[in-house]
Structure formats: C-alpha cells, structure tokens
Structure 1
Amino acid sequence: MRLTETPLPAPLAQILAQPPGGALRLFWLGQAGFVIEGGGRRAVIDPYLSDSLAQKYRGTRFAHLRMMPAPVAPGAIRHVDLVLATHAHTDHLDPGTLPALLAANAGAALIAPRAALATALERSGIARQRLRGIDAGEVLDCGGITVTATRAAHEDLARDEAGHHRFLGLMLTMGGARVFHSGDTIPFAGQIDEVRALRADLALLPVNGRDATRAGNGVPGNLDMAEALDLARAAAIPAMIAHHFDLFDFNTAPRPRIEAMARASRAPHALAARADMSYGLASQATGQIP
C-alpha cells in the first residue's frame, strides 16, 4: 500500500466546508494536527490553529512563534463527527482552537484521555455529554469511526493518580482503512508489539526528535525521523506521514533532511507532511484506493 499526495485544488477552508466523501483523505493542519475523513465521516485530531502558545510564552526564551500560518480557521472546518486529543499539551488540546471548532460542529463529540477530561472540558467549553474519555487498551465505537487507544511515552509512560495514561496513541478505523496517530512519543519497551497488533495501514508519526537543551528547558521529546521509520517498519505499517515539525523554531527538524529520508525509504512508503497537499492510500498492485 502506498501513499498518494495530491495538491489541494482550492483553499483548505473551501474543501472542508463540503461534506466528506467515501474515500480516505487526510489534510495536515501543522504540528500534530490532521483532518482525517472517509466513509462519509470526518475527524480532526490534535488541532492547533491559534497563537495561544505565543501568548502564553511571550517574552520567554522559547516564544512559540509560528513558522507557518494556520492553514484554516477552526470554525471553517465543517461536517466534523469527532475531535480527538492524544494528550493535554496545548499544541494538542488547544483552548484557542477547540471552542470555535466544536461550536461550528454542534454534533461532534470530543474524545480525550481519561487523565485529561477536566482539562478538555475547561478548554473546549462544551457540555459534559459531548466529551468522551478513553485510555490505553480501550476501543470506542463512534458511529462509523472506531477509535483504539494505545500507550505513548512523551519522554515517559506517565499516569495520573487514578492510573490513567497521560499520553496516548489513537488509531482511527474509517473509510475502510486503519490510521494510527501515535501521539507524542519516544521509543519504549513493548511499543513495537503494541503497535504491530493494530495492523494499521498508515502511521502518522512525530519526527522533531529530542535533545538535552530542550529537555533541560522543559520541552519533552519525540521520535526522530530514523526512529519513526524504524517503528513503522518493525510494526509492519506500509505507509507513514512524518509530522510535528515546521511550527516552532526551537522544536523542529530540518525539512530537507526529513524529505530526503522519506524518499530513500521503500518500506514504509513515507512522505513529509505538507499543508498544501491532501493524502490518501492506494494499493501497490492496482493503484486504486482499497
């Protein structure tokens, strides 16, 4: 199975104002954010479409200034069935994005880790009945979209006082495909077996890496590109989109290097996320969307 990459035929707001179709399509929102649609359903995962972090960290060493503009306004994304957050960090569970996105999609539910439910409720501004919790090992049937949660280690496999995992990976089964978003993570014991068991068709993996400078300033790390490719390969995932770069200058990786490593990879077939493209999956044998 190979990724397809198609230039956007119109501004993203115009595309996402229309109902989703049957075929699997993905759109990168920057950082770890994606719109994923298929089977007539649309999901938004980890959207950061504001400057709330620049406001929070104004005047500090890491000012969180955007390197790329938000490709769409939160309220312009319509026909959304699910909004998902992998963890409570602001660039994944954003008070500058969620209220407008969820107000524009009154029927959409918000799925967040059980460890982050209070934060999700506060930042989203929604009624409690629209919020659903999930933890590692759990599966939610969301009416045409199935969500499966795994562990993630954003430096460590942290849990809250009740034992719920603070960081999750989420697999969405929709449109006849299994799309695994790892959340923010580094390698950890048991990760390969856990991810391989998902039998994912496509992995969305962070590649901004980690180093002592960031760790020493409270910035937790992620996989680098080599580790992301290794994880997808070891977990038998045939396709991968690299993301979580090009947004903050202190927490990114060079795009030319990521693209070069993606081009050199045969298994998985890999691409570096771009906001001016849409993504799909095609069978290597037939060239058709499965």
Structure 2
Amino acid sequence: MGSIKWLGQSGFEIKAGGKITLVDPFLTDNPKAPISPKDIKEADLICVTHDHMDHLGDSINLAKRTGATFVSIFELGNYAENQGVENTVRMNMGATLDVKGVKVSMVQAFHSSQRGSPCGFVLDFGEERIYHAGDTSLFGDMKLIGEYYEPEIACIPIGGYYTTGPREAAIATSLIKPEIVVPMHYGTFPEIQQDPNEFAKLVESSVESVEVNILEPGEKFTF
C-alpha cells in the first residue's frame, strides 16, 4: 500500500516501499502549493527532472535539511553538490539505479534546461511503478517507455505553452497505457491554465481501461 500526494505544479510526495520520495518539490513562491517547505519533516529521495525554478524549487534546501538523496541528471547533481547537498546520485539517460531500495530509471523528456538535459523518471517501488514525465512534449518513444517499464501510474503535464496540452497528453496516455493517469503542470500560472476535465474527456473517449485521477493540490490517493 502506498500513496501519492500532489504538491501543485509537477511536485509530488510519494510514500511507498517504506520510503518517502519527493519529485520536483516546488513550494516556495508556488501560489498553488498546499504546504510550505517547513511542513516537510522527512524525505528519503528527492528526484528533480530539470533545473527550471518550478521544478528544482526547494529541493536543494530540503535535501540539506532532511538528508535525502538528491537524484538528477549528472550536471544538475554537480550543481546540488556545490550548493552543499551531501548525498547525490548523478545519473544519466537509460540508467536504472537502486537508490535506498527504490529502482530509479531516468528516461527522456523533450524540453529545455541550463544544467544537463531534462528528464523523466520511472520509480519502481516493488509493487507499483510510477512514471513522472517531467516537462515534455509528446514523443513517440513514450510507447517504448510504457512497454518496457510498464508503469501502473503516469503523471503527465497538460498545461500547454511549455509542455503538452490536454490533447497531446491524451495521446501520450494512449502510448503509455498506464492503469491511472494524473494530470499535472497546469493551473499554477496564467500561461498554463487548463481544465483537467477536458483532458479526462479526451482520455475516456480514446483510451480504454485508463482511470483519470484529477487531484487538487494537497490531495492524495492510495494504491
């Protein structure tokens, strides 16, 4: 049994496999954040998809305070280490590493960044696999990610402007074929205002046997 809580934008707190994993914890200056950094008392892993402020967010300070292992692309991990983070895993595309009992796979994302390449993660907790797509456009190898890693849960951006919008995200869902898809990266700023129900309708009309789980910031579901 595990849980996944949406922290707004692309941030999640995942409790599974006896570990607490944060992905892209952007809380400070996030108008939709349901909590503040001080509310996070512990974490084992912090996975960061790229270095834009709404993804790197509070991850460095949280890693230093909690002792969590900072997981990222190589160049961003170097930056975190230079900022005083003691525990870093600086991996690269295609790798799957065991980080404190969680199998972390780094997969491709099509976006931009200053330090290394943007990425997505597949997190294997033993009984459940979660694909966090990061900031990305639609790309055909999402089908390969779905076939090879077989994630039961996929978190996909729907905001448009910087990433896939609802239509592209629905096509991504059809390629990945998870059991549950969670829309993210929308509603935080004016440029990425979207109606997640539009995404849900597109998925329901085009993809069989996929549940769309629309969360409010701070809301979680168990798996």
1:45-94 C-alpha deviation (Å, 9 max, x unpaired): 0010012xxxxxxxxxxxxxx552x2112132123110110111111112
Runs of at least 5 residues in structure 2 that lack an aligned partner in the other structure: none
CA contact 2:35–2:218 (8 Å) conserved in 1: no
Q: Which residue of 2 aligns with 1:39?
A: 17
CA distance in 1, matches of 2:54, 2:71: 16
Q: 1:109 aligns with which of 65, 69, 75?
A: 69
CA distance in 2, matches of 1:132, 1:41: 16
Pair 1:172 & 2:123 matched? yes
CA contact 1:75–1:103 (8 Å) conserved in 2: no
Q: Which residue of 1 aligns with 2:40?
A: 77
CA distance in 2, matches of 1:78, 1:173: 23
1:11-61 C-alpha deviation (Å, 9 max, x unpaired): xxxxxxxxxxxx21000000000001112111000010012xxxxxxxxxx
Where in structure 2 are the equivalents of 1:101-140 lying within 5 Å? 101-106=62-67, 108-122=68-82, 125-127=84-86, 130-140=87-97
CA distance in 2, matches of 1:262, 1:192: 16
1:239-276 C-alpha deviation (Å, 9 max, x unpaired): 10001011111233234534554666653211223124
1:270-289 C-alpha deviation (Å, 9 max, x unpaired): 122312421123xxxxxxxx
Q: Which residue of 2 aligns with 1:188?
A: 139
1:209-258 C-alpha deviation (Å, 9 max, x unpaired): 13xxxxxxxxxx21112222222222221210001011111233234534
Q: 1:258 to 1:234 in 2, by over 3 A?
A: closer
Number of corresponding residues? 222
Q: Which residue of 2 aligns with 1:8?
A: none
Q: Which residue of 1 aligns with 2:221?
A: 279
Q: Which residue of 1 aligns with 2:173?
A: 232
CA distance in 1, matches of 2:142, 2:126: 26
Higher relative contact order (CA 8 A, sep 6+): 1
Pair 1:145 & 2:102 matched? yes
Q: 1:254 aligns with which of 179, 183, 195?
A: 195
> Between the two proteins, what is the percent identity of the paired residues?
23
CA contact 2:3–2:14 (8 Å) conserved in 1: yes
1:124-158 C-alpha deviation (Å, 9 max, x unpaired): 5323xx11111110011012211011111017xx8
Structure index of larger Rg: 1
CA distance in 1, matches of 2:111, 2:188: 18
Runs of at least 5 residues in structure 1 that lack an aligned partner in the other structure: 1-22, 52-65, 211-220, 282-290
Q: Which residue of 2 aligns with 1:213?
A: none
Structural RMSD (CA): 2.4
Q: 2:59 aligns with which of 98, 106, 131?
A: 98
CA contact 2:78–2:90 (8 Å) conserved in 1: no
